[in-house]
Homo-oligomer: A and B are copies of this chain.
């Protein structure tokens, strides 16, 4: 890697990674609407057209960022699950905690991942990453009610995910616990997780009332 008079190499070398990193920061700072490809390029200290060689479009970059978000979400869920032992119900709660923690730490990214816009840049890698998080959750739910029918299991996968996702989504948007401390919010989140797990356990034992 030779350098010009300025000391700056003509080739960035790791521009793709730099753009993803800059983009991710920018996303959290300015929101989805404030996200621009040119600002990413500026932060990576390259010209505004440089990103085109690594990402076909702005949606392509957002798709890559979202895909990595799914990977991290999966990791966050697994990490939290490893901290508890044995009990399937406890594991389900822990994964929910990991899910919520990731969302709270990356609110805009989380919204991007689960936004309608994300369907626009549906790449195979993004889809695969999303499926991986889904399966992790699915298995955790099924482990809680191994004796239940396939249908009940499916319904409880829906239900459990909806409760976890819904709670943190509402918090992130400021609809829930606007004035609560993070401490109090976490407690409210745990309460929702408790109610969810209890309902799953119950439904696993007795068929759902139609």
Residue positions of A touching B, CB distance < 8 A: 31-33, 107-108, 111, 114-120, 130, 134, 154-156, 158-159, 161-167, 169-170, 172-176, 188, 191-192, 194-196, 198-199, 202-203, 208-210
Establish whether residues B166 and A116, one from each chain, have CB atoms under 8 Å apart when the complex forms: no
Provided the pairs A161-B170, A163-B159, A165-B166 are in contact, do residues A111 and B107 lie with their beta carbons within 8 angstroms? no
Establish whether residues B208 and A155, one from each chain, have CB atoms under 8 Å apart when the complex forms: no
Number of copies: 2
A163 to B195, CA, bound (A): 11
A122 to chain B: closest residue by CB: B174
A195 to B117, CA, bound (A): 30
For the complex formed, measure the closest distance between the CB of A185 and the CB atoms of chain B, giving whole angstroms. 10
Establish whether residues B198 and A155, one from each chain, have CB atoms under 8 Å apart when the complex forms: no
Chain B residues contacting A203 (CB-CB under 8 Å) are 195, 198
Question: Which of B172, B191, B202 touches A116 (beta carbons < 8 Å)?
Answer: B172
Question: Which of B33, B156, B165, B196 touches A117 (beta carbons < 8 Å)?
Answer: B33
Provided the pairs A155-B191, A188-B155, A192-B155 are in contact, do residues A31 and B208 lie with their beta carbons within 8 angstroms? no
For the complex formed, measure the closest distance between the CB of A124 and the CB atoms of chain B, giving whole angstroms. 15
A174 to B131, CA, bound (A): 12
Provided the pairs A161-B170, A169-B166 are in contact, do residues A155 and B32 lie with their beta carbons within 8 angstroms? no
Q: From A31, A154, A158, A176, name the one whose CB has the most chain B CB atoms within 10 angstroms.
A: A158
Chain B residues contacting A32 (CB-CB under 8 Å) are 32-33, 116-117
A151 to chain B: closest residue by CB: B191
Chain B residues contacting A209 (CB-CB under 8 Å) are 194, 198
A120 to B191, CA, bound (A): 29
